[in-house]
């Protein structure tokens, strides 16, 4: 079945997802960190990743975490897996993060590559 001649009635773009708050543009919000890591392709993350692993949770505040440091940690670890994600379309990476306990826990994230952009997402296989 082919839909090459089908009329597009609605298109939801990355920009729409950023405007809606479903995606966060890390390349824009953490431009200095992305540049320092040598990442030249746009990097986005899901709302879940941003709210739980980058934004400061109550426990993260008590542990004196800061947003730029948390973003750096995720971008740094994702940077190691970008070549694999380019080759395979995705990759997993692990990092440690203070979320809802005073102790950092191991987090597995998925790094997806669509040919133009990287997306950091929650690994749903852990649920």
pLDDT digits (tens, 9 = 90+) for 7-36: 888 899 999 999 999 999 999 999 999 999
Phi, psi of 101 (to 5 degrees): -135, 160
**CB contact at 8 A, 111 and 119:** yes
Picking from 32-36, 42-46, 74-78, 123-127, which range would have the lowest pLDDT averaged per residue? Answer: 123-127
**CB contact at 8 A, 51 and 91:** no
- Looking at residue 10, the DSSP 8-state letter turns out to be -
pLDDT digits (tens, 9 = 90+) for 34-62: 999 999 999 999 999 999 999 999 999 99
Q: Cite the beta strand spans of the chain per DSSP E.
A: 23-25, 43-46, 90-97, 105-113, 118-122
pTM more than 0.85: yes
For the chain, what are the domain ranges? Answer: 14-126
In 3-state terms, what secondary structure has residue 31? helix
């Amino acid at each position: 079945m082919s839909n090459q001649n089908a009329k597009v009635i609605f298109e939801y773009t990355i920009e729409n997802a950023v405007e809606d708050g479903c995606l966060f543009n890390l390349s824009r919000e953490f431009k200095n960190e992305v540049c320092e890591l040598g990442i030249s392709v746009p990097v986005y993350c899901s709302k879940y990743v941003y709210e739980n692993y980058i934004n400061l949770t109550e426990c993260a505040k008590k542990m004196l975490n800061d947003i730029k440091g948390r973003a750096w940690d995720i971008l740094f670890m994702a940077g190691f897996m970008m070549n694999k994600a380019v080759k395979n379309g995705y990759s997993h990476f692990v990092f440690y993060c203070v979320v809802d306990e005073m102790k950092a826990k191991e987090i597995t994230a998925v790094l997806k590559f669509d040919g133009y952009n990287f997306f950091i997402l929650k690994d749903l296989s852990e649920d």
